[in-house]
């Protein structure tokens, strides 16, 4: 974790692997990325409006992501910046997502720092079964087009030499105690009624990212930055399983028998008439109806064999506390 360097006849000093600032420390990605960098021996700072979920080993920096000067101060002494900032799901349009990224790029300046950025699969069309870093980005939805434009801004900054950009693209997130993600809001939404929802046909495959593993992948890529180009697009394979395999794993991990029920897409479509958030969720249904697998042998080689937490173990780590939390709440 910490490197010990001997000096002056047995005296020693302790040096970290480097300094990293996590923007958006309170989000799911920010939390898990910060923990991974701490565990790997980095000096970690976390930037956010409040220190909602303090992490041991993380220095909290209070600030507003809409304030460029505050962000610039937060990243000033960091070699690596994890950009885990996000906006509410229904607040991406009207240029707001691009404006958020523009502020981050301005805050980093022409510093040559490394930005690690979490990409997603929205950039690609449903017809693209095997999604590699070389796959053309043909977004199927307006939300996907926004993601393509944001990544283009990063590429331009990297090509100008302002910074190094390392995109690590992943599937849908799941982790213990995560709230407001697809896993708890869709798959386990009726767990209180002893039901597990299947989001599509049982044979359809889907890419999942266990956040503790994804955080470690960010750290591994950041540690390899000196040997990487100024702009990299990595695809994190995570766990690619069918919907049927997913619900079977959830059933096996649950402390009570769970009945499999279809996810209520029709109901969500109706609710979306009045609720913008649900309307945006329904637009992404194609990701659940089509098999799209993230693949990247190059990133696999960087991470090494047996990197990922076994799927059943990861599902168990999520499902057990989910039911425990519900019992405590009751």
206/20 Cα distance (integer angstroms): 32
What pTM does this model have? Answer: 0.93
Question: Among residues 247, 236, 253, which one has the least CA distance to residue 204?
Answer: 247
Q: What is the CATH number of the domain that holds 113?
A: 3.40.50.720
* CB contact set of 16 (below 8 Å; sequence gap of 6+): 2, 3, 41, 42, 43
Long-range contacts of 190-193 (CB under 8 A, 24+ apart): 190/261, 191/254, 191/258, 191/322, 191/323, 191/326, 192/326
Q: Is residue 130 part of a domain?
A: yes
Q: Kindly state the tokens that stand for 286.
A: 């194609």
Low-confidence ranges of the chain (pLDDT < 50): 1-14
- 98 in any annotated domain: yes
- 308 falls within a domain: yes
What was the pLDDT predicted at 13?
Answer: 41
Is position 271 within any domain? no
Give backbone dihedrals phi and psi of 6, rounded to 5 degrees, phi first: -75, 135
Which residue segment(s) compose the domain that 312 sits in?
A: 17-243+279-329
Is residue 269 situated within a structural domain?
A: no
Which residues are CB-neighbours of 49 under 8 A, at least 6 positions away? 26, 62, 63, 64, 65
What integer pLDDT is reported at residue 7 of this predicted model? 31
Alpha carbon 30 to chain centroid, angstroms: 8
* Dist. CA 192–CA 181, nearest whole Å: 17
Q: What's the domain count of the chain?
A: 1
Give Cα 157 to chain centroid, integer Å.
Answer: 22
Token pair belonging to 128: 């693209």
Residue 262 lies in a domain: no
pLDDT at residue 122, as a whole number: 97
Domain contains 265: no
Phi-psi region of 176 (alpha: psi -120 to 50; beta: other; left: phi over 0): beta
Look at residue 302 and tell me if it is in a domain: yes
Q: What is the pLDDT of residue 326?
A: 67
């Amino acid at each position: 974790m910490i490197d010990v360097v001997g000096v002056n006849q047995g005296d020693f000093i302790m040096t970290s692997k480097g300094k990293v600032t996590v923007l958006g420390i309170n989000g799911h990605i920010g939390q898990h990325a910060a923990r991974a960098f701490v565990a790997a021996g980095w000096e970690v700072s976390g930037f956010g409006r409040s220190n909602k979920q303090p992490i041991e080993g993380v220095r909290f920096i209070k600030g507003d992501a809409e304030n460029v000067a505050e962000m610039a101060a937060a990243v000033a002494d960091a070699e690596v910046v994890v950009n885990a900032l996000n906006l509410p799901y229904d607040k991406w349009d009207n240029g707001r997502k691009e404006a958020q990224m523009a502020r981050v790029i301005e805050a980093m300046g022409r510093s040559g720092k490394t930005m690690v950025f979490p990409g997603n699969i929205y950039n690609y069309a449903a017809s693209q079964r095997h999604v590699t870093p070389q796959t053309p980005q043909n977004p199927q939805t307006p939300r996907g087009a926004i993601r393509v434009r944001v990544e283009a801004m990063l590429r331009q900054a990297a090509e100008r030499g302002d910074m190094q950009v390392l995109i690590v693209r992943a599937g849908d997130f799941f982790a213990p105690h995560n709230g407001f993600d697809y896993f708890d809001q869709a798959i386990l939404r009726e767990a209180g009624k002893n039901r597990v929802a299947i989001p599509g046909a049982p044979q359809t495959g889907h890419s999942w990212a266990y956040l503790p593993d994804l955080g470690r992948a960010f750290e591994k890529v950041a540690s390899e930055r000196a040997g990487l180009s100024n702009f990299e697009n990595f695809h994190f394979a995570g766990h690619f399983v069918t919907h049927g395999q997913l619900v079977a794993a959830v059933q096996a991990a649950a402390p009570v028998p769970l009945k499999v029920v279809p996810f209520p897409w029709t109901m969500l479509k109706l609710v979306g008439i009045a609720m913008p958030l649900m309307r945006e969720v329904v637009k992404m249904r194609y990701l659940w109806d089509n098999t799209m697998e993230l693949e990247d042998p190059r990133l696999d080689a960087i991470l090494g064999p047996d990197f990922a937490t076994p799927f059943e173990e990861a599902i168990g780590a999520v499902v057990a506390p989910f039911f425990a939390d519900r019992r405590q709440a009751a």
